[in-house]
Every structure is written in structure tokens, then in C-alpha cells.
Structure 1
Amino acid sequence: MGKTGRATAAYRAYKDVSRPGSPGLMARIKAFPRMIGGSMRGEYRDLGKGKLAMMGLGVLYIVSPFDIVPDFLPLIGVTDDFGVFLWLMSSLLGESGRYLDWEHKKVRGEVV
């Protein structure tokens, strides 16, 4: 995904979080552990193991001291980390919104 694609995805995630009636930012962040646990246990099937693994690799890439573009290069070095961060946050926020909808339906007995 290019720079424009990541920025567009981040903007869509922001619009989704700020939409009236949509779960807010803190509700989505608090749902991360439940969503990941539900996915690992096989209860929440909308977040596949492949996407979950990609998100984990994204976290590892951000915290890893090794980068494709070294961080000591001014501005350019942090661009790749920021791009991965944008992708990771937009993916997590979008998926956690879908998880909260699924969880709400499950509580109401609409989801098996």
C-alpha cells in the first residue's frame, strides 16, 4: 500500500470512529485484547489468523531496531515506521469496530 493508500485508510478509520453511533476510540482500544483473544480461541472468525499475524509483524517492525530504511536518516528513516503505524492503527481501529458490532449482536443473541 502506497503513502496515499495508507493516508486514505487512516482517514477512513478516523471518519468511522467519529461517526455518530459508532463505537468511540477508547471503546475500540479497550476491545483490542478481547478481539485478539476471541480470534485466537476461534470465537471471532472475522479476524483471520493471517491478518492477525500481519498485525503482529507490524508491531514487531515498529519496535524493532532494524528497518528497511534506517531511522538515522533524517525524515526518510521514520517514514517507513510511520507508514506501518498508520496501516496498523487503521486496521486495528476498523477491525475493533467490527468486533464491537459482532460482540453486541452476540449479546443480543443474533450471532451464533
Structure 2
Amino acid sequence: MLQFDQEKPIGNQYKITSKLGSGSFGEVFKGVNTETNEIVAIKLESQEAQMPQIKHEFQILSAIQGNGIPKVHWFGQWEDKTVMVMELLGYNLEQLFNLVNRRFELKTMLMLIDQMVFQ
């Protein structure tokens, strides 16, 4: 678990409000733009991560954003973390999976595969 000062603004305008999830890459939080009140997703990764991923993800998202791909609002260093602030589009797959008691129907699985592989 990453340690940080939750009251210190990120990029001078983003504030963390709650945790959304975590994984081997780091942690994802829900946040708010303190100037516009827009709700955002904030990804944090330790700068000492053995296999850093967030910079690579930022480069890919910047190249393909739009049409269902979240817009990146800010990328940079904050405290001892690499941070990416992006548009929050909705539930992630794990949240959706939990909403249906961790059992997707075959049709749902096929639609997800189609979107992930062919679009």
C-alpha cells in the first residue's frame, strides 16, 4: 500500500477522495478537480517500482484517447510517486463482475472479448 499525504493537491488541482482499487501496478483512486469539481480517476505508482507501467500506459492513452478511451488530464511526479490523472468513465470490469455475483453470462463474455480484441 502506498503512503502519501491525502490533503496535498496533485498537480495543484486534483484531490484524492476514495480508493477504487489496486494491483501489481499500484493503486487507483477516485478524485476531484478542485477548480471544476470534475470527478477523475487517479493512478499512483511508486517511482521505485521494479517494472514501472504507468508512463507506458500514459503514452498509449495519449496516442489513442477518445471513443471510449479515457482522456488524460495530468501526468507527472507527486511526492515519491508517478501519477496519471484521467477521465473517470464508469465501473471497471471487476466492479461489474461483483455486481453480478461474479458470474458473467456467455453473451457478456463474448461482447467483452469482441471489444477487447477486435475494436
TM-score surpassing 0.5? no
Relative contact order: is structure 1 or structure 2 higher (C-alpha 8 Å, sep ≥ 6)?
A: 1
Scaled to the shorter chain, the TM-score interval is under 0.3
More helix by share: 1
More strand by share: 2
